[in-house]
Amino acid sequence: MARIRAINSDLGSSTIADLLPRLRARQVSAEAVVQACLARIEAREGEIKAWAFIDAELALRQARNLDQSTVRGPLHGIPIAVKDIFDTFDMPTCNGSVIHAERRPDADAPVVAMLREAGAVILGKTVTTEFAYFHPGPTVNPHDASRTPGGSSSGSAAAVAAGMAPVGLGSQTAASVIRPASFCGVVGYKSRLGCFPMSGVSPLARSLDSFGWMTRSVEDAGIVFAALSGLDIDYDIALEVPPNVGVCRTPVWESADGDMQALLETTAERLAAAGAGVVDLALPPWFERLVDAQKTVMAFETAQALADLRRRHGGQLSRRLMQLLDEGIATDYRDYRGALALAEQGRIELQSLAHDFDALIAPSACGEAPVGLEATGDPIFSRMWTLLGLPCISLPMGLGSNGMPLGLQLIGPMHDEEALFRAAGWVEKAVE
């Protein structure tokens, strides 16, 4: 990358909420914001390795075009890092695999096109695990290079945490937004299943794949949601009316380490002291079966989605991915159908159990990001919520014993994302 001249460095670490009024009023240019991000990338990318593709001139050209036009939309001039499984017409999309190293899509994925239409600058493509499964790429955790950033949206989480971009796009089939957000200490939002189109995105499991993004604040995550959905979040109301929160330790509570368990307990106490309605919500023991049900659905549908890759390029796929595909092929269709039925039963029962809550709160991960780059961490605390298709948002809530970030996730009602964002905004303010 060509060396970027010295610029106002605070622009690169600013929030979307701070940048947008300045960009709209022409107090700062989109080019200056992109320059700040590129300078940060130049300073830290050699260590973090968050990017699969970056072209400084292409990013700056987009910004200059915006500066020469009227205000384009609700994300005018905001740089966005795009996970390298989302098709982009002007950049390669390699899906974290040598098989697609030369792949150049002819069109944007719909969500990327929607972001461009909203005025965003597509800054570049971020590292993903191989086909968004478990085999990791080169990205390290920005807080400790010996630890994983999580996956599969590893590059996007690391880029936002390192100040390289204010937004990083991700996707989730098991825990691929929530877990890296927790490990890297950023806000991570996973949309409800079917909320946004997933065409033009490398598929894994059609009953699970969901769109999401990482930001530096709940408000920023809500701004992106509003730009894509048209539903603005009224945070003034959120701050005036404390939410009702259900504390959900989940049937896999023993998988959380001592730091994570203590964080959930102390956070519940702090929220209650701040005025929230906080009540323990114990899920029926059979909900533990949803974890294995998610694994069954993921294996079965991934074997279908990647059947051609397995047949023609099996020798170039990682051992981990081949094991999943073999498992999916061996899965009995009746077991797959039963897993989907169990998910539907879970949605119905949870709606009844949690109807009085604005959101549930639960661990985002087992604990801090593990040491080592050969794996991306255990996804167990998101498998159930992903299978149920619910919207989730992970908030950075503290540090573990080794000084690494810990996150808790809020899980919202299936069709009320505004309630989830309002609750998350209130919680963010209550614990800051």
Can you read off the two tokens belonging to residue 356?
């009085």
Helix (H) or strand (E) holding 335: helix 333-353
Active-site annotation holds for 83: yes
Domains of the chain, residue spans: 16-235, 238-288+336-431
Kindly name the residue from 49, 83, 125, 295 that is annotated as catalytic.
83
pLDDT of residue 238: 64
Kindly list the averaged pLDDT for each block of 10 residues, start to end, along the chain of length 432: 41 90 96 97 98 98 97 96 98 98 97 98 98 98 98 98 97 98 98 97 98 97 96 76 96 98 98 97 97 98 98 97 98 98 98 96 98 98 98 98 98 94 95 90
Q: Look at the pTM and tell me if it is higher than 0.85.
A: yes
What pLDDT, on the 0 to 100 scale, is given for residue 131?
98
pLDDT at 9: 52
* Per-residue confidence (pLDDT) for residue 378, from 0 to 100: 98
* Catalytic-labelled residue, pool 14, 97, 152, 217: 152
pLDDT computed for residue 40 by the predictor: 96
Q: How far is CA 407 from CA 225, 259, 399, in A?
A: 21, 11, 9
If DSSP codes are grouped into helix, strand and coil, which group holds residue 247? strand
> Do the domains at 16-235 and 238-288+336-431 have one common CATH topology?
yes
pLDDT reported for residue 6: 34
- Cβ atoms of 421 and 222 closer than 8 Å: yes
97, 171, 176, 382: the catalytic one is: 176
Burial class (CB in 10 A: 0-12, 13-18, 19+), 353: middle
Superfamily of domain 238-288+336-431: Amidase signature (AS) domain (3.90.1300.10)
176 tagged catalytic: yes
The token pair that represents 188 in the structure block? 């991570």
> What CATH code is assigned to 16-235?
3.90.1300.10
Does the active-site annotation cover 182? no
